Amino acid sequence: MADLKDFAEQLVNLTVKEVNELADILKEEYGIEPAAAAVAVAGGGAAGGGEAAEEKSEFDVILKAAGGSKLAVVKLVKELTGLGLKDAKELVDGAPKAIKEGVAKDEAEALKTQLEEAGAEVELK
């Protein structure tokens, strides 16, 4: 079992270039189509750190719907964004719209929690 764990760790730590080479070998020598390798590329790229980790650290907070208590959501959006009351109302009425873009994961989750507590439907992208 330890050998399989070592093998899995090696797979996770492959660079994108190495994954592409592995996909070529699997296709040419074993007849395995690279569709399965595409999953490995996605996983390997994320585990590779660098740029992939940076992309995952910034999120957009999207208001999908105001929900049942629209007034509370408008007031909270006004407070969170610093917009005027009219602009905050237009943003809420125009949902789905981004409330904040490119924020850290912790801040995005805190905003989502606050908005959901006010009754809004929120998504992080």
Q: Is 46 part of a structural domain of the chain?
A: no
Residues 6+ apart with CB under 8 A from 11: 40, 44
Q: Do 63 and 107 belong to one domain?
A: yes
Distance CA 76, CA 115 (A): 7
Q: Which residue has the higher pLDDT, 43 or 63?
A: 63
Q: Is 50 part of a structural domain of the chain?
A: no
Q: Do 117 and 67 belong to one domain?
A: yes
Q: Is 21 part of a structural domain of the chain?
A: yes
Give me 57's structure tokens: 């650290």
Q: Is 67 part of a structural domain of the chain?
A: yes
Highest mean pLDDT among 18-27, 43-52, 82-91: 82-91
pTM, rounded to two decimals: 0.53
Q: Is 91 part of a structural domain of the chain?
A: yes
Distance CA 55, CA 39 (A): 18
Q: Is 65 part of a structural domain of the chain?
A: yes
The closest of 115, 117, 84, 81 to 99, measured between CA atoms, is 81
Q: Is 73 part of a structural domain of the chain?
A: yes
User: Domains in the chain: how many in total?
Assistant: 2
Q: Which residue has the higher pLDDT, 100 or 48?
A: 100
| The pLDDT of residue 40 | 45
Q: Do 63 and 116 belong to one domain?
A: yes
Q: Is 83 part of a structural domain of the chain?
A: yes
Q: Do 66 and 112 belong to one domain?
A: yes
Residue ranges making up the domain that contains 103: 59-124
| The pLDDT of residue 42 | 47
What CATH number did the domain enclosing 66 receive?
3.30.1390.10
**Rg of the Cα atoms in the chain:** 22
